[in-house]
Amino acid sequence: MQYATGRAFRSSSVKMVHNSILNNAYNGTIVLNSSLEALANIISGNQGCGVYATDNSTITGSGNDISDNKNGDLCPPPSGYLGLLGSEEGHK
């Protein structure tokens, strides 16, 4: 079954661990005014972005496979997503 969006978080603090978020009609994960720690997730094949975050969100994590998403893997393009793909940049 294909969903519009795999996971959406609004005004919350969430830890997302070991999820497969695949082949959704839009974005894999949406982060709105939230804090997300993402560990060891697979986010791939979505028709929108892999992870879409608003500027006032904070995203950290490591060990994620975020690839092959039609509109980009990290949207807007990262002025950093702290460690999400193994880098030390931060998105705030």
Residue 82 within any structural domain of the chain: no
Residue 21 within any structural domain of the chain: yes
Q: How confident is the model at residue 55 (pLDDT cuts 50, 70, 90)?
A: confident
SS3 assignment, position 20 = strand
| Cα–Cα distance, 56 to 63 (Å, whole number) | 23
pLDDT at 80 over 90: no
Question: What's residue 4's pLDDT?
Answer: 78
Burial-class residue 80 by CB neighbours within 10 Å (0-12, 13-18, 19+). Answer: middle
Residue 88 within any structural domain of the chain: no
Q: How confident is the model at residue 88 (pLDDT cuts 50, 70, 90)?
A: very low
Residue 69 within any structural domain of the chain: yes
Residue 48 within any structural domain of the chain: yes
Q: How many domains does the chain have?
A: 1
Q: How many CB atoms lie within 10 A of CB 28?
A: 29
Say what percent of the chain tops pLDDT 90: 59
Domain hosting 23: range is 7-75
Instruction: Please answer whether residues 43 and 6 qualify as being in contact, where contact means their C-beta atoms are separated by less than 8 angstroms.
Output: yes
Residue 14 within any structural domain of the chain: yes
| 13-22, 36-45, 79-88: range with lowest mean pLDDT | 79-88
pLDDT at 33 over 70: yes
Question: What's residue 76's pLDDT?
Answer: 82
Residue 2 within any structural domain of the chain: no
Higher pLDDT, 2 or 40: 40
